Amino acid sequence: MRLTNVARMALPQGRLLSCAVLPAPGRGRELPVSFDQGRHVGLGQRPGSWMAVSARLPDGTGLDDLAASWFAVLQRHATFSTAFSHARDGRLQLHEITLTPGRWTEHPVPEGDEPRAVLRRLFDQACAPFEVPSHRLAVMLPSASEPDPRPLVIVGADHAHIDMWSFVIVLEDLFACLADLRAGRPPGTGLPPAAGFAEHTAALEAMPPAPPEVHQRWAEILDAEAGVMPKFPLSLGDPDFVGDSMVDVRDLLDADQAARFADVAGQRGVRTISLAVSVLTQATLELAGTGLRAVFPVHSRHEERWRNSVGWYITNSVIESDDPDPAACARAVREAIALGSYPLAPILAPYGGMRAAPGMFAISWLDTRRLPALPVGADPRYVSAVVRDDGVMVWFIVNDSGLHLRARYPRTPQAVRSVRSWLDRVESGMHALAARG
């Protein structure tokens, strides 16, 4: 699984189509809204709130089979049959909806335009927080001149309904449904039941309160930044910059280098992520003269029933690391995971929720080797939207081809210098350790 951005993704020349499923009239029962869903959707209807994934389909996949398989996936995962709205009193609410099979629409690419620009506009409109539904399946049918004739599917959804892990589940189920149709079976035959994300939200709300020491640690973290989330420690320039954010995509380590990096981690008695945090800590100390402090997303799939379910199973924590010793970094990672293992709403309520100031710094780590395996040659890729963001967000992805990075940061001269210097230092630090393996 690789990382890309809709403004730079490679699409074949050909026809772009999308399958728009339709909601039936009326709404069903009201469902609980998770803390992170509330934060995300509470920012309002806007472009760029979506996430997407792309993959090559088997050669010869027809539109009818693809539409039937997609509808089976939607029926299987309850979050896709939900929609947000505002109550008369302004309260955010989430209701069940009933979906009906979709229809194909072609999206012509105007002369002088690019397919990815048309795709971006499509997802910006169709996958916004209050769209009903807020997801869309698109497909590029390559022209005869393209070397690879296989259709390229792109699935987009508003982030409120999905996370990066979930996208692999969506693709796995989609391939399984297509295989069922080729074998003459109904799509989804044999797939185990999938729990609904709203069940997870209700289960979190029913958890016992976090212990006092967790509240105290969160208070210390928030008080250090006057009640807001950690900020990038170097200059980012004007937070009101004009235009989209910068996106930096790097292949940090190839497969052999990543294996050697993991060997070094093992020799030091820590996991790969802890050794990576050691590198991040060292880079921050050298460039900013302070330790690493960043928002640190952690997953909440703590029970087996959530592992094959689609939803936003990511909550936020904060990692603090001012000692680059790998053992100390391993302790910092464990603490961050522990701090993110409790419902955040009551913990953050005294601070007005999860408040973010310009320059918020977040780091995400995902090892996709733990996820379901997709067909060889599918070439799956995570696709991010284009947004204007005044903070710094860095994603690390580990897969069979190595360690990859995507960073988003403000398009200002100061941010370009600061963030690129930090990324360069991180990259060189990882290369140095891999060379020791």
Q: What is the pLDDT of residues 256-284, one digit of tens each?
A: 999 999 999 999 999 999 999 999 999 99
Quick one: pLDDT at residue 131? 98
Nearest Cα to Cα of residue 139 among 190, 174, 164: 174
3-class secondary structure, 51? strand
Convert the pLDDT of each residue in 157-168 to its tens digit. Answer: 999 999 999 999
The answer on 191 and 245 residing in a single domain is no
- Domain end point (choices 149, 178, 202): 202
Helix (H, G, I), strand (E, B) or coil at 180: helix
**For residue range 92-111, what is the model confidence (pLDDT) as tens digits?**
999 999 999 989 999 999 98
Same domain flag for 311 and 416: yes
When computed from its CA atoms, the radius of gyration of the chain, rounded to whole angstroms, is: 22
CA distance 376 to 281: 36
Is there a single domain that holds both residue 277 and residue 190?
A: no
- For residue 393, give its domain range: 211-434
pLDDT in tens, 299-337: 999 899 999 999 999 989 999 999 999 999 999 999 999
Q: Are residue 116 and residue 236 in the same domain, yes or no?
A: no
Mean pLDDT, rounded, of the chain: 95
- How many structural domains comprise the chain? 2
Q: Do 172 and 32 share a structural domain?
A: yes
198 and 250 co-located in one domain? no
Inform me whether the pLDDT recorded for 135 exceeds 80: yes
Handedness of CA 143, 148, 149, 154 (dihedral sign): negative
CA separation (Å) from 263 to 92, 97, 252, 256, 326? 48, 49, 16, 11, 13
> In this predicted model, what pLDDT tens digit does every residue of 386-431 receive, in sequence order?
988 899 999 999 988 899 999 999 999 999 999 999 999 999 999 9
Question: What band does 349 get if pLDDT is binned at 50, 70 and 90?
Answer: very high
Question: Domain boundary residue among 202, 229, 257?
Answer: 202
Kindly report, residue by residue over 142-194, the tens digit of the pLDDT. Answer: 999 999 999 999 999 999 999 999 999 999 999 999 999 999 999 999 899 99
Q: Which residue has the tokens 């809709």?
A: 6
Q: Where are the beta strands (DSSP E) in 216-306?
A: 246-254, 292-299
Query: Is 131 found in the same domain as 34?
Result: yes
CA proximity to 7, closest of 365, 366, 415, 388: 388
Q: Is the pLDDT of residue 437 over 80?
A: no
* Pairwise CA distance, residues 406 & 395, whole Å: 5
Give how far the C-alpha of residue 356 lies from the chain's centroid of Cα atoms, to the nearest Å: 19
14-40 pLDDT tens trace: 999 999 999 999 999 999 999 999 999
Q: Are residues 272 and 403 in the same domain?
A: yes
The verdict on 26 and 171 lying in the same domain is yes
Q: Is the pTM of this model over 0.75?
A: yes
Task: Quote the pLDDT of residue 155.
Answer: 98
Tell whether 106 and 230 lie within a shared domain.
no
Residue 129 near residue 158, CB atoms below 8 Å: yes
CATH number of the domain at 316, please.
Answer: 3.30.559.30
The residue among 202, 220, 249 that closes a domain is 202
pLDDT in tens, 211-245: 999 999 999 999 998 999 999 999 999 988 988 89
Judgement on whether residues 248 and 378 belong to the same structural domain of the protein? yes
CATH of the domain at 180: 3.30.559.10
| Per-residue pLDDT, 1 | 75
Q: Are residues 233 and 380 in the same domain?
A: yes
